[in-house]
Amino acid sequence: MVTIADVARHAGVAPSTVSYVLTGRRSISSATKARVEASVRALGYHPHAGARSLASNRANVLALVLPVREGMNMPVLMQFVVAVANAARRHEHDVLLVTADQGAAGLRRVAGSAQVDGLLVMDVEMHDERVPVLRELDRPSVLIGFPADAAGLTCVDLDFAEAGARCVDHLADLGHASVALVGAPRAVYQRDTGFAHRTMAGFSAAAMRRGVASTTLPTEPDHESVRVAITGLLDRHPAVTGLVVHNEAALPSVVEVLRTLGRKVPDDVAVVAICPDDLAERMTPPLTSVAVPAEQLGHHAVALLMAKLDRTPTPPLTLLPPRLTERASTAR
């Protein structure tokens, strides 16, 4: 294995000089720097990660804590994972994906063993058992999502309450007087997951405010469940002419079921989705949607965590404002 000593010998300098060239923490003459860099390339040197973290007390690894649970939509989660990994890489960090460990034990393990410098935590519940642990840990953390009590934490999220409200406002503006929220699977609400809870609250409050009749139904994503749910909904509430769908996996089935029921979109039923833009654009017809900006959220979360690692003060809660894009599913 090529070590920093080999590079130093090859370049005719001290090991510490190589280190300073590599980290850029001290000024090095351009001639020396060029020689060292040439030696690094010539020998194919890569710093030994273990030794580096031993000496610097930095692992250059971030934990992405993402318990994979019932009712989660993998394609959307992957957008977050990719965004986080790419952003971390731009800050010279790698990502340790923590999925298997349930709750607090997993946090303690990766933080306590100095495997990671900081933690990004996803799928945050309103009363999340991991939150008190995060406050205790000696490693900084950023939550994508936020619990009921976010005191002392750094959180970033889409403003899902406002997202739910924007959907209702859009439908109300178009003259719809009765709307329904086709929500996440029941298990997601039972866990009291923050984003699902807030979307529903924002949806209901806006409907009340606008004097629009509203109903909500948690929905399992498989086609048959969607068929039963939508059919039942339109039977019980024949006046419903607007659907807000906050369930990416169910989205194709919702559109398909409406078609088989002979309900034209948007003429008979208007549909607004809360989902990533690419998904809304791919549907037939393309759906009006409030974007779930996975890329942006992931980047933002990493930037906040980097700031905390540098001991730069960070805002406790960053809520991205929802952006609604009109497409064919709600045309006037």
Partner DNA sequence: GGGATTTAAGGCAGTGAAAG
Partner DNA sequence: CTTTCACTGCCTTAAATCCC
* Half-sphere exposure for 196 (CA within 13 Å, toward CB): 24
Candidates 18-26, 235-243, 252-260, 261-269; binding stretch for DNA (CB under 7 A) = 18-26
Determine if 314 is a binding residue for DNA (CB under 7 A). no
Determine if 312 is a binding residue for DNA (CB under 7 A). no
Asked if residue 144 lies in contact with residue 156, where contact means CB atoms within 8 angstroms, the answer is yes
Determine if 90 is a binding residue for DNA (CB under 7 A). no
Determine if 20 is a binding residue for DNA (CB under 7 A). yes
Determine if 5 is a binding residue for DNA (CB under 7 A). yes
Determine if 311 is a binding residue for DNA (CB under 7 A). no
Determine if 19 is a binding residue for DNA (CB under 7 A). yes
- Round to whole Å and give the CA distance between 181 and 172: 14
Determine if 108 is a binding residue for DNA (CB under 7 A). no
- Tokens 């919702």 locate to 254
Determine if 31 is a binding residue for DNA (CB under 7 A). yes
Q: How far is CA 95 from the centre of its chain?
A: 14
Q: Minimum Å distance from CB 86 to DNA?
A: 23
Determine if 15 is a binding residue for DNA (CB under 7 A). yes
| Residues pairing with 164 in the sheet | none
| Number of residues forming the site for DNA (CB under 7 A) | 31
- Tokens 């905390």 locate to 308
Candidates 9-17, 76-84, 209-217, 237-245; binding stretch for DNA (CB under 7 A) = 9-17
Determine if 325 is a binding residue for DNA (CB under 7 A). no
Q: Minimum Å distance from CB 63 to DNA?
A: 17
Determine if 309 is a binding residue for DNA (CB under 7 A). no
Q: How far is CA 238 from the centre of its chain?
A: 36
Pairing of strands 324-325, 317-320: unpaired
Asked if residue 111 lies in contact with residue 138, where contact means CB atoms within 8 angstroms, the answer is yes
Tokens describing residue 59: 């692992």
Nearer of residues 26 and 282 to DNA, judged by Cβ: 26
Nearer of residues 41 and 209 to DNA, judged by Cβ: 41
3-state SS of 19-47? Answer: HHHHHCCCCCCHHHHHHHHHHHHHHCCCC
Determine if 38 is a binding residue for DNA (CB under 7 A). no
Q: CA distances (Å), 75 to each of 224, 241, 297, in order?
A: 21, 29, 16
Nearer of residues 3 and 178 to DNA, judged by Cβ: 3
Radius of gyration of the chain (CA): 25
Residue spans of beta strands (DSSP E) within 213-331: 213-218, 242-245, 270-275, 288-291, 317-320, 324-325
Nearer of residues 4 and 143 to DNA, judged by Cβ: 4
Determine if 151 is a binding residue for DNA (CB under 7 A). no
Q: Minimum Å distance from CB 88 to DNA?
A: 18
Nearer of residues 15 and 67 to DNA, judged by Cβ: 15
- Footprint of DNA on residues 43-72 (CB under 7 A)? 47-48, 51-52, 54-57
Nearer of residues 57 and 312 to DNA, judged by Cβ: 57
Q: CA distances (Å), 131 to each of 5, 120, 125, 234, 329, in order?
A: 44, 12, 9, 40, 39
- Footprint of DNA on residues 111-130 (CB under 7 A)? none
Binding residues for DNA, rule: CB under 7 A, are: 1, 3-5, 12-20, 22-23, 25-29, 31-33, 47-48, 51-52, 54-57
